[in-house]
Structure 1
Amino acid sequence: MSHNSEDTFLLHHDPGSLIVKYLDVISIIIQKRLINTGYFLPEEKEDLIQTVCKQLIEKAPSINKNYNGSSLLITYCSSVINNLCNGMIRELKKQPVAIHQLPDYVEYDGYIVERLLVNETIDKFGKIMRLYHNKRFKLEFCLKSYFRVRLSSADYEYLAPKMQMDPARFFEIFNDLSENQKLTKNEIYNNLTIILNDLEHVNNCSDAIRKWINVKIGEVLVLLNGNPKSSCFDEETLQILLDKYFSKNSILILH
């Protein structure tokens, strides 16, 4: 019995075992369509695999009915899996992203302590970031730098192998963006321009990155506030949200 005949037999009699057999294919397609494109995070991959497997089980009768043997079953199922991934992307883009206003502040021992943002708010902001898929890292990196949110080791590990400049020079610029809270906005733009030009193999000026960041901040604020407007986010409250988004377990204290 050929491999395709074995697969067809499983489709007819034991679709669950067929899906287990195709797990590697499912994983590869999800990685390519949903993770590498930035629509979902790497840590969500296992949940995505489970979702696709569940949908394939539900679709097994339809696959059984429509598969005519003109191609390998694994090829046919790969097309079905791709369509399921495309459906997830469409659903993601349709999800509402209007976010509730930040909670009120309370006085405590002379400090203004921000109440913890509800997980729903942070999750919805994450959905907005996903909409930028392959530009997500660039946007998050620029937002962190612009709003003086400390950069992470993951940011460094993503960028370092892609840099063509001297590693010591890159480390100096990266560390300056991450740790030097006295940087002016122009110095931030200059540092970002050096890194992004190297990353994207372009030769933009710092004014170009300034304009790009301003446009993206405007877009994010529109998405946060909703249409019709249901929240009142501005740059100040966006910075608070970013602090919470990138360090979920901390409590931000404002002086």
Structure 2
Amino acid sequence: MPISISRCIAGVCKAAALCLIQPACAQSAAEPAPAVTVDPVVGEYSSVQMELVAGIRLNPDGTFEYGLTVGSLDERAQGRWKRVGSRIELVSDPRPVAPTISANRIDNAPGQPFALRLVAPNDIDIPGIDLRIDFDTGAPLKSYLVGGPWTLPANEKRRPRFITFSKRAYRIASGPLPLRAEAGTVTVFLLTPNDLGVIDLTGAYLEPDGNSLVLTRPDGTIIFERANPASDTRTTPDGEQDPQKEPLR
């Protein structure tokens, strides 16, 4: 016996009505939420070597935090990470602003030989900065600051023309600054810290090596070991937290 079109429509309408009044028909409400996939590299890593302690944290939201102490050098960074193939590429955000050095003032020092100072905004002398003096003739003179006024060697008779301050580890590079070396004066230069101690890791990257991550940057590499691997977890399909024990990929 043929089935009419009107009868089919009536059947569909009846089935739809039943679904509206019977919760069992709404299967989507009873289904578990889809699992959120967490990249296995997410977690904390550390590196401890002779006089060096460093750490990096890769967060699930795609951000990272980094810190390092070696000798008298302290540096830190933060930003975003993303996976590109097997690599984890880093981008500092915000991009740090390097320190700057500028001429500040000239103090009088009657009866004293010419001297120069490099000071912080609080007028405290800054030690450990390399300097280069270019003269009107001959080779430049290279020296460094010890944390107080610096004077020319007693036997130096040439006329200074420029001075350059630098400290690569702290991204200090003043470029040549005009210098007038007159007896009885102290030329004071000011270092504006800006983001002193914050490094730019844009372009650096991490590569998994077993349960380690190798950080590659222009000045070398650092191997980080996963810290507390048993505490790093990822979500399983049933919503449970499962310890991450597999090698990084």
Higher helix proportion: 1
Structure with the greater alpha carbon radius of gyration? 2
Please tell me the TM-score bracket, short chain as reference.
Answer: under 0.3
Higher strand proportion: 2
Q: What is the TM-score with the length of structure 1 in the denominator?
A: 0.26
Q: What is the TM-score with the length of structure 2 in the denominator?
A: 0.27
